[in-house]
Structure 1
Amino acid sequence: MKEWWKSGSPWVWLNGGAVTVSMIMVFGLLLLILVRGFGHFWPHEVVQTYYEVPGTDRVEVVGELRRSETLTGQSMREAGAPIPEDQMVVTRHLFKLGNRDVTGRDFTYFIDDFLGEWRYPRDMTVLERREWGDFYGQPLRLLEAGRTVAEGADLWAEFRARLARSNRLYDEIRQIERGDIGNINFRMERVRLDQRRAELRGTLTPELERQFAERRAALDAEYAVLQERLDTLIEEARRDSIVMRAAGGQEVTIRLDRIVKAWQPNDMSVFAKVRFYIGDFFDFIFGYPREANTEGGIFPAIFGTVTMVLVMSIIVTPFGVLAAIYLREYARQGPLLRTIRISVYNLAGVPSIVFGVFGLGFFVYVMGGAIDRTFYPEALPAPTFGTPGLFWASLTLALLTLPVVIVSTEEGLARIPSTIRQGSLALGATKGETLWKVVVPLATPAMMTGLILAIARAAGEVAPLMLVGVVKLAPTLPIDGNFPFVHLERKIMHLGFHIYDVGFQSPHAEAAEALVYATALILVLLIVMLNLTAITIRNHLREKYRSESD
């Protein structure tokens, strides 16, 4: 045993065990996110039953079973449940009831002992609405301008056709509101700023005033045409409605323009459920959020996260690489250089929220305020860059990840053999030519490693972004068709902040749970895709320069 300890084998086994436990924990977490995240999109069957507690009226229950749990009878009795004293174990089920606007409840626990027979009617329908969450019920009649046009066996097919028409009208309405009218508002604001700029410069002449008035009149005419078309579409979209039977027999009329999609999960085959699952997943990826981010899609958050990471990479890479080259190749070795390196290492350990406070105070208020006063005085007092936005969020994350890029690049430069440098110098190359044509290309994989680590950290950061540019809901994307096309001053959404907001700030915690897992899954997949892209580029560069050196 003594010799075994001296051989160092116990430490090898200890390290191996620690790595194994860490891998199990990581893969277990990823598996949990995968199961809960992908399960969010599956069309669950809708249960119809009744709930009758002794001494109370029977209540009809319609909804999706979300989970079941077994508790002790004592704990349930302490919670006020009428459980017999001799009952040791109690099972309760969590149902998603929907119909929040009708009952005021969305999720409710029911004790299994008081539930009746579970039935799954084939005509039980789920309506995903633009407001008030999902609705569960059975369709009774389809109305057009208050007049019944379909019921019975013909109802479902006619309803699906009219719902598709309603969604097409809704998409056209949203395109006019967000795209066309938004473009007019943008150009109208440009006219106002141009006139204000001319006033500040003292160059506003009667001729210019006439031109500005003509531009506004032309935009007003465009707006009037679009508004007339918009009013017509809204009136057409509000024409159709459906009467649904909710739990308890109550009849509820819902306009089709308030419905996103409808399905009957109890009547769907496995193939139909898979097709619905794929469509729902893509709607989640490319859709826009609704209901305080607890419903709908996350496309603005994905777009904002990717855009911010790309801008951050463009900023941090040249600064980090140049700083590392200077520290390694040009700076005089001594106490000052050691102090700078220690400062860089310590900078990597500073809490991220401190970077957010610094970014808000220096980047936003100092630099952004100076930019507004110098280049955008016509917009004041409304800030252009003197407010949190995409550029300041990217710059703050670049500062946060700068030490990672510097250290990785320095290590890559240090691994280049001195014989390569000496050989280049012996062939007549200058020190600068040796550095930029020989050494730096060979150290490129190490630079890419630093960038990979920077991307992984930046994509998952939340705390500093809350101060420097990320918001709960951004009305417009940072890239659009209006000049200059990339709007670095705009606020953005971010997947990490979206998870925090939905998970901890949502008024409907149970409804948000599945969405948190789904969004976390997308964030993990996005980070993996960004890292795989950078790794592929790094491996390509490594093979390229290895073959050239051979």
Structure 2
Amino acid sequence: MTVKQQNLKTWFKSGSPWVWMNAGAVAIAIIMTLSLISVIAVRGLAHFWPADVIEAEYVIPGQPARVMAGEVVQSEQVPRARLASSGLPVDEEGSEFMTRQLLKVGNREVYGADFSWVVAEWMENERRPDALMVLERREWGNYYGYLLAVEENGQTVVEGEAAWPTLVERIARVDQLMAEIHGLERTDIGRINHGLERLRLRSRSLELRGELDAAAQAEIDAERAQWDAEYRVLETRLNELHRALARDSIRVRTADGHEQTLNLSKVVRAFRPNEMSVFDKSVHYLGKIWEFVSDEPREANTEGGVFPAIFGTVLMTMIMAVIVTPFGVIAAVYLREYARQGWLTRVIRIAVNNLAGVPSIVYGVFGLGFFVYVLGGSIDQLLFPEALPAPTFGTPGLMWASLTLAILTLPVVIVATEEGLARIPRMIREGSLALGATKSETLLKVVIPMASPAMMTGLILAVARAAGEVAPLMLVGVVKLAPSLPLDGNYPYLHLDQKIMHLGFHIFDVGFQSPNVEAARPLVYATATLLVLIIALLNLSAVYIRNHLREKYKALDH
């Protein structure tokens, strides 16, 4: 055997190749993960950048030219034969490929669709006019065109180029009116409706118990009259605001000459991307991202924000954590510290480990059948008979979604906690008992604190898994659109019976149920980026808490 072969054999025996192989595998996994997140983030967050709007004559051979305007969303090379097979008048001469572009043309009420495929070679005299504006609307998508005049109560106030500053001012006024209307409808009128509903339920409860006498009815009627009087005041104010909101309108024209009048109450914002500087576009971009994380969805979830979904996801996982922690820790402590270690204990551990591999949709079916129909229906019969036949807890809601997730993640907490308890040396327990501590004191003051790093890691990993679950939640409380938050100023403040939105289900709904696929696709990437970031933060928090607790109790290990 040569020296080189001997050195190679020694190198393999030292284990260095396996160290490098593992390091390489970890590096590849990290690179792939970061690349995936980067692709999702770029494709999602790029949607909020105000892209330039082009205008050009689209000349299809043998057809009259028409003017088109919009944003170039996608560009691809397509074989000439493929375009010809789709019915387009493509010449056989020329290069093998032609460029096809997906143009976001907006103006859905005019063209019938927000997007249109065009052949780039047929776009002539392409330009980017500064006056070409984009209107983000509350419905019907974006509008691309030119501002002709600003009107008030049907009368022209200002027209031409001077109309643009006036439009910006009027939109700011409309935003203030919309904010006041939103506050009245959601907060004040919502409070009144809640009070009237509680009055109705109280009246029905007294009726069921046979206690609805004349005095009780008079008291209820007096309180209802107070609510009605307050509502009439708010209704008058709302009517005034809606009349003021309908005052302003604009006259606009599309690139191909179609004129129409738009009420400013339907406009969210107006901007001219072609004349915006990089700084202006950056400010607009940050504003759009803030709107995405802080506003409600609109346009079948393809516009606006995802704040209700963020709130629902976080609140549900917090309630789940509060529920699963005591049950998981108590079960693990019993199995490790109190239960006799025999065949029955081994069977229980096997069952717990197998529960972690059960498909999540099975938990959803269990939650719907047991929590919603059996437990929730029983609660309605016992505690809310006055609301029947309308269910209170006998329908999917926040409480049952959280409980279902708690059952789903319980094995993770049990296994992690029991492993943490098993790593604590027996001599530490015996030393505590020898010093006069009881078994419960030893557990609470010595064993459990030392096992807390494993317990916290298991809990937060369970939270991270719960934040990404979708299938069971579709059955037990998560819906497509629920802009009203389950936490408000109306008693009992936290409404556990209310349905919620969830980021995972929002991704599924926008990606696979949206009628406007092209408009929804960027929001799927953006929402997925947000969900990945939340889960990543939870996992990083788990690592930090585990390391902190390890350092805190390191002295007890030696």
Is TM (by shorter chain) over 0.5? yes
SS at match of 2:268: strand
**19, 23, 34: which one pairs with 2:30?**
23
The one-letter amino acid paired with 2:158 is A
Deviations 1:300-359 (A, max 9, x none): 101100100100000111110110000000000111000000000000000000000000
Q: Secondary structure at the match of 1:27?
A: helix
Q: Which amino acid in the other structure matches residue 29 of structure 1? A: L
- The correspondence of residues 126-275 of structure 1 with structure 2, limited to 5 A, is 126-275=134-283
Letter in 1 for 2:270: A
| 2:476 paired with 1:468 | yes
Aligned partners of 1:34, 1:341: CA distance in 2, in Å? 41
> Which stretch of the first structure deviates more once superposed, 530-539 or 359-368?
530-539
Structure 1 moving runs of 4+ over 4 Å:
4-14, 547-550
Distance 1:18 1:447 in 2: 28
CA distance in 2, matches of 1:218, 1:469: 35
Q: Partner amino acid for 1:68? A: S
Distance 2:129 2:555 in 1: 67
Shift, 1:540, TM fit: 3.5
8 Å CA contact 2:308–2:483 kept in 1: the answer is no
Once the 2 structures are TM-superposed, how far is the Cα of residue 10 of structure 1 from its aligned partner?
5.6
Aligned ranges for residues 412-451 of structure 1 at < 5 Å?
412-451=420-459
1:529 partnered with 2:531:
no
1:96: how far off? 0.5
1:132 corresponds to which letter in structure 2? W
> CA offset at residue 75 of structure 1?
2.1
- Which residue pairs with 1:499 in the alignment? 507
The equivalent residue for 1:371 is: 379
1:67 corresponds in structure 2 to 74
Q: Structure 2: how far apart are the matches of 1:11 and 1:543?
A: 30
Decide which of 376, 380, 383 is 2:388's aligned counterpart. 380
* 8 Å CA contact retained: 1:448, 1:535: no
Q: Could you say if the C-alpha distance between residues 153 and 81 of structure 1 is closer, same or farther in structure 2, counting changes exceeding 3 Å? A: closer
- SS state at 2:72 partner: strand
Query: Which residue among 42, 62, 74 is the counterpart of 1:35?
Result: 42
- The answer for unaligned runs of 5 or more in structure 1 is none
In 1, distance between residues paired with 2:550 and 2:493? 35
Are 2:117 and 1:109 equivalent residues in the alignment? yes
Q: CA deviation at 1:79?
A: 2.1
Q: Secondary structure at the match of 1:368?
A: helix
Deviates more, 1:11-20 or 1:252-261: 11-20
Shift of 1:153: 3.1
Work out whether 1:299 is the aligned partner of 2:307: yes
For 1:75, the aligned partner's letter is: R
Cα distance in 2, alignment partners of residues 519 and 489 from structure 1: 26
Q: 2:287 matched to which residue of 1?
A: 279
Please state how far the C-alpha of 1:174 moved relative to its aligned partner: 1.3
Q: Does the CA-based 8 Å contact 1:191-1:216 persist in structure 2?
A: yes
Rounded Cα–Cα distance in structure 2 between residues aligned with 1:527 and 1:201: 50
Q: What TM-score do you get using the length of structure 2 for normalisation?
A: 0.96
Cα deviation 1:29-67 (Å, max 9, x = unaligned)? 101112112212111111111111111111111000111
CA distance in 1, matches of 2:556, 2:147: 71
Instruction: Return closer, same or farther for 1:393/1:173 CA change in 2, 3 Å cut-off.
Output: same
- Report if the CA contact (8 A) 1:452-1:535 is conserved: no
CA distance in 1: counterparts of 2:224 and 2:546, whole angstroms: 52
* CA 202–479 in structure 1, closer or farther in 2 if over 3 Å, else same: same
Q: Can you give the 5+ residue segments of structure 2 that lack an aligned partner in the other structure?
A: none
Deviates more, 1:131-140 or 1:5-14: 5-14
Q: In structure 2, what is the equivalent of residue 77 of structure 1?
A: 84
Structure 1 residue 323 and structure 2 residue 313: aligned? no
Maintained 8 Å contact 1:503/1:513: yes
- Cα distance, 1:548 vs. partner? 7.3
Q: Percent identity?
A: 59
Which residue of the other structure, out of 362, 366, 370, is the alignment partner of 1:354? Answer: 362
Larger displacement relative to structure 2 (136-145 or 83-92): 83-92
Q: Evaluate the alpha carbon distance shift between residue 161 and residue 359 of structure 1 in structure 2; reply closer, same or farther with a 3 A threshold.
A: same
1:523: Cα distance to partner?
1.2
Match status 1:489 vs 2:497 = yes
Alpha-carbon displacement from aligned partner over 1:515-549 (angstroms, at most 9, x marks no partner): 11111111122223333444444444333333677
CA distance in 1, matches of 2:544, 2:302: 36
Is the 1:91–1:111 contact (alpha carbons within 8 Å) kept by the matching residues of 2? yes
User: Aligned partners of 1:258 and 1:450: how far apart in 2?
Assistant: 48
Query: Would you say the 8 A contact 2:44–2:525 is kept in 1?
Result: yes
Q: Quote the Cα distance in structure 2 between the aligned partners of 1:276 and 1:536.
A: 35
